[in-house]
Amino acid sequence: MVHAGVGEVEDNFEDRGVHEGRHSREDTVFMSLALQEARQAALEDEVPIGAVLVLNGKVLARAHNRVEAQKDPTAHAEMLVIREAAAQQLGRWYLRDATLYVTLEPCAMCAGAVLVSRVLHTQLIQTCRSDEA
């Protein structure tokens, strides 16, 4: 459930375009990569969430949750791909025009990171939902 106080972030997040439904063939490939990452997280006893960040049809970064491994409460898949893409791949902080493929709707922290990094679209992957985020 949504906690009080995060509504504003989520409203902004919606405005940035969270897309569900219609997928292109390219989307399917990136979704499959994100699902592979989620499976890898499960194998490592992490919360099974995967993310892929794409710019101009190219994968900039892919990652899965590493909260347990890194003992870092912010090491969510989305945070890891945003950091990797910005610092390591693009050498700039903004990810304008990039698309984030993620296996579960981002939490408030990750939604905020999507906003400040100026990721253009977030593509949710339709899987069996759990309440764990």
| Binding site residues, Zn ion, CB under 5 A | 76, 107, 110
- Is-catalytic flag, 78? yes
Nearest of 124, 131, 130, 113 to residue 12 by alpha carbon: 113
Minimum CB distance to Zn ion smaller for 65 or for 99? 65
Minimum CB distance to Zn ion smaller for 99 or for 122? 122
Chain Cα centroid distance, residue 126? 13
* Contact assessment for residue 30 and residue 23, using Cβ atoms and an 8 Å cutoff: no
Q: Which of 44, 78, 105, 132 is catalytic?
A: 78
Q: What share of the chain is helix, strand, coil (3-state, %, to 5)?
A: 40, 20, 40
User: Which SS3 state, helix, strand or coil, does residue 64 take?
Assistant: strand
Ranges of H-type helices in 2-130 = 7-15, 25-43, 67-70, 77-83, 108-117
Active-site positions? 78
